[in-house]
Structure 1
Amino acid sequence: MIFIISCAANKKQYEQGITGKVMWYEGNFMPAIGDDAKRSKPVGISRTIYIFEPISTESVEITNRVWLSTIDKNPVKTVKSDEYGNFKVSLPPGKYTIVSKEDKGYYVNRFDGENIINPVIVEENKWTEIEVKLDYKAAF
């Protein structure tokens, strides 16, 4: 009789990255007194999300204040959200630009004090939770 015993080292592996939802906003989101039923509600949506090293507004041309037609670098990673908008992607610690590519180009709707487009910071051993807000067809 032969016995095989396996002793795998139990190394604790730390994970970090970005987790969140891609939400689609379309229609009227204006504050109103009275019937909230007439107001639109955001819904989760499936999209491919592109994650880049930080991109500054000074290094690209943004049209209509929200559209990038091209990005002259390759993404660090891409991830596709599920039909409800959920996604999770592991990344090394650092600062990133995260965008969705729509029909008109890459949608950008946030900037930080250093003019980084759609910035997200990933810390070691932590998951950064975000909402990718696609709101270019919404009124606020």
Structure 2
Amino acid sequence: MQKTSYILFILVLVLMNFSCKTQTSDNQGISGKITWLEGNQMPMISEDGSATPPNPKGIPVKRTILIYPLTNLADSKMDDGLFIQVKGEPIAKTESDENGEYALELSPGRYSIFTQEEDGLFANLFDGEGNIQPVTIREKEWTTLDIIINYKAVF
């Protein structure tokens, strides 16, 4: 069972990594949608015998999005699915609206993106070098990063 959970976790990370897109513009930054996902995400069998798939996209939520310089796992501390300590200070922040949508103009560079949760910071994507939720902003391009906050979901 633990091996299956590990494989599903890796699969989710890989699939979410492909959600990063870019658009050409006169300025540059990051935009996307924040959604909340919790509870049992396994398909369920209803009383009539049909399978009911979970909602893997979640519910749009308002959140504070914090932009840090590119941050590595070695420079942070996690507890119960949230980062409780991150080296450095955020260099920018923005809020998502009631539809979960956000946008923030940023200078070109590499950043780590977190959402502010009640008990810490959330990020769940990592690159092969241990960088947390890495995003590269290029000149005159907008990067789309949709974030599914799922630390209270069970897969």
TM-score by length of 1: 0.81
Of 54, 57, 61 in structure 1, the residue corresponding to residue 77 of structure 2 is: 61
Gaps of 5+ in 1: 1-12
RMSD: 1.9
Corresponding pairs, count: 126
Aligned residue number for residue 147 of structure 2: 132
Aligned residue number for residue 16 of structure 2: none
Counterpart residue type for residue 137 of structure 2 = V
- Secondary structure of the residue aligned to 2:88 is coil
Counterpart residue type for residue 62 of structure 1 = M
Which portions of structure 1, spanning 4 or more consecutive aligned residues, are displaced by more than 2 angstroms? 31-36, 38-41
- Quote the Cα distance in structure 1 between the aligned partners of 2:66 and 2:85: 12
- Quote the Cα distance in structure 1 between the aligned partners of 2:102 and 2:96: 5
**1:95 pairs with 2:110:** yes
- Quote the Cα distance in structure 2 between the aligned partners of 1:29 and 1:72: 33
Identical aligned pairs, as a percentage?
34
Name the structure where strand makes up a greater proportion of residues: 2
- Quote the Cα distance in structure 2 between the aligned partners of 1:121 and 1:32: 38
Counterpart residue type for residue 35 of structure 1 = A
- Secondary structure of the residue aligned to 1:61 is strand
Between structure 1 and structure 2, the one with the greater Rg is 1
Name the structure where helix makes up a greater proportion of residues: 2
Measured against aligned partners, the alpha-carbon deviations of 1:50-104 in whole angstroms (never above 9, x if no partner) come to 001011111122224x322133422111000000100000101111100012122
Aligned residue number for residue 7 of structure 1: none
Gaps of 5+ in 2: 1-24
Aligned residue number for residue 45 of structure 1: 61
Aligned residue number for residue 35 of structure 2: 23
